[in-house]
Amino acid sequence: MVSPPKSFTELENAIAVRFRDKELLAQSLTHRSSVRRSKTNGHNERLEFLGDAVLELVTTDYLFRLSDRPEGELTNWRSALVQRENLANVAHEIELGDYLFLSRGEQAGGGRSRDSNLANALEALIGAIYIDRGFAVAKDFCERFIIARLATLLASGKHRDEKSLFQEHAQEQLGVTPRYEVLHAVGPDHDKQFTCAVFLGEEKVAEGVGNSKQKAEQAAAKEGLLLKKWKQ
């Protein structure tokens, strides 16, 4: 295991949160790769699970009180805030990668700057703050570092999902409405993986995979935006 180059005190100063239980803070920043396989509770995945739920509640409550917009629109706003890209950007800003415990292999492979590691660690940190300092402090952290980015995300169009964007571009530039087809689905009912394709007329533009038809369609639309060079 490789220890982080920065001290927890520096992180606590950066986020203005003092942990009572430093071991809990350490666990939130411990990547699975740095824990022996025989251990199950030393890494941050359980805290990530908790932090994800806390963040979603805080975000939902904030948006509900902020605006009387329709449910679908608020859902898109929330998705923009809690998506991996936004969480990774927040983690980069507070240099969270410099506090992670990683295996030597993970560090050598760029693990301190990998978006997935950073987004997961940020959610785990939220979970740890919730346990150590309570909901009010976790809520304050989420609002200061994540929800504060809402205006910027809306201005840049991050709240618009890929299917909506792909349809807008297709209709504006080609006069065609995209259609989606499930190509195949594999796995048991409780863990099925879908592959969907997006078509413009008879042209199959792209494919996407997800654990639901909706996610697979979003993935196909995202790939389609890239292939058509419609991605902003």
Give the per-residue pLDDT at 40: 45
Query: Known catalytic residues?
Result: 52, 123
CB 94 within 8 A of CB 149: no
pLDDT in tens, 96-114: 999 999 999 999 999 899 9
Structure confidence at residue 118 (pLDDT): 96
Q: Tell me if 208 sits within 8 A of 196, measured CB to CB.
A: yes
Q: Which among 9, 17, 231 has a CA at the least distance from the CA of 127?
A: 17
With respect to residue 3, please indicate whether it lies within any of the assigned structural domains. no
Chain-centroid distance, C-alpha 88: 7
Contacts 24+ apart (CB under 8 A), 132-137: 132/19, 132/20, 132/21, 132/24, 132/25, 133/17, 133/19, 133/20, 135/54, 137/17
pTM of the full structure: 0.72
CATH for 107: 1.10.1520.10
Looking at residues 69-75, what average pLDDT do you find? 82
If asked whether residues 149 and 166 sit together in one domain, one would say: no
The count of domains in the chain is 2
Q: Is residue 232 part of a domain?
A: no
